[in-house]
Amino acid sequence: MNLGKSPDADGTRRFEQDGAGSGGSGSRWTVWGKRGPGGRAGAGESKKPRSFWKELPILIGIALVLALIIKTFLVQAFSIPSQSMQNTLQVGDRVLVDKLTPWFGSQPSRGEVVVFHDPGGWLEENPPGPTNPVTSGIQKVLSFIGLMPSAEEKDLIKRVIAVGGDTVECKGTGPVTVNGKALDEPYIFPGNTPCGDKPFGPIKIPPNRIWVMGDHRQDSLDSRYHQMLPGGGTVSVNQVVGRAIVVAWPVTRWSTLPIPSTFDQPGINAAAGAIPAAGGLAGALPLVLLRRRRMVKKQRKDC
């Protein structure tokens, strides 16, 4: 007796049970497959895979979107154009710049090597770009997604020496002092003095601004040389693109860019440390007054 159904005309799978009823010798289950061409049952039809050339534009589009996201929010490569950071960085080095931490409110710290936009008047006019419109267009697209430097953006790279609230100074041949603490700067280019040929200070750094200097002190037009411009030679933290964290190219020069230990010496944060102390005192004062008021009320009530 047949208790199942045969396959439909469209080849849908069905199960069929054959047997001789309750007294039969048993049951047998038959799985009907998808009908193939000509009505024959087959193992099932599969979609024809999309050709590589049809998928290639999609893959390129995804890669470009990912590159743009990484360049905008995570990390970006910059090329070193001058000798101002020798010997820490050489002309032609490619550094990777961390752009993520500033999104979480992190500000530049003393000793970091940072990339920042020209605050205005620090750099000369940009060199002329490609005259060929096709070449110019390609460069603009690749620079937009971070695959090559932009011919229009004006960025610099220097070391942060002092931050907002610090007092920085360098007299004679040095050393540079921050909040009265002398810096030991082994990264300075051999033969240079800490002040180079431009002593300065004492200078009080305004809030949310930084004082920057190149490691090649006698070949770096840094904060020392722009004190007559708005900001007095300091750079707004809003102009900072990010911190250079590693030399990525050439491979023979691969290295990290840590903060030198001299910026961690005791007492260098004295000026900044006074702010939390003052804030703590201001926060504790209302509590002390409130407690005193309760004690006075209790004494009056007992009387």
Domain segments of the chain as ranges: 1-41, 53-271
298 given a catalytic annotation:
no
158 given a catalytic annotation:
yes
Q: What confidence score (pLDDT) does residue 269 get?
A: 86
Q: What confidence score (pLDDT) does residue 59 get?
A: 74
Q: What confidence score (pLDDT) does residue 242 get?
A: 92
Q: Are 14 and 5 in contact (CB under 8 A)?
A: yes
- Six token digits for residue 113: 């090597």
Q: What confidence score (pLDDT) does residue 127 get?
A: 47
Element (H, E) at 176: strand 176-178
How far is the first Cα of the chain from the last one, in angstroms, to the nearest whole number? 106
Q: What confidence score (pLDDT) does residue 296 get?
A: 54
Q: Are 194 and 183 in contact (CB under 8 A)?
A: yes
Could you please state the CATH topology (level 3) that the domain comprising 53-271 is classified under.
Umud Fragment, subunit A (2.10.109)
Q: What confidence score (pLDDT) does residue 287 get?
A: 46
CA distance 153 to 29: 74
From the candidates 34, 109, 158, 181, give the one annotated as an active-site residue.
Answer: 158
Q: What confidence score (pLDDT) does residue 273 get?
A: 40
Q: What confidence score (pLDDT) does residue 81 get?
A: 87
The tens place of each residue's pLDDT in the chain, 303 residues long, gives: 444 444 554 444 444 444 444 444 444 444 444 444 444 444 455 667 777 677 777 777 676 666 666 555 577 888 898 999 999 999 989 998 988 876 677 889 999 999 999 998 898 644 445 556 666 566 556 555 554 444 455 789 999 999 999 999 999 988 999 999 999 999 999 999 999 889 999 999 999 999 999 999 999 999 999 999 999 999 999 999 999 999 998 999 999 999 999 999 998 985 444 434 344 444 444 544 555 566 556 556 655
Q: Are 130 and 143 in contact (CB under 8 A)?
A: no
From the candidates 84, 99, 220, 223, give the one annotated as an active-site residue.
Answer: 84
Question: What pTM does this model have?
Answer: 0.64
As to burial, measured by CB atoms within 10 angstroms (0-12 exposed, 13-18 middle, 19+ buried), residue 289 is exposed
Q: Are 252 and 94 in contact (CB under 8 A)?
A: no
Q: What confidence score (pLDDT) does residue 173 get?
A: 87
CA distance 207 to 238: 12
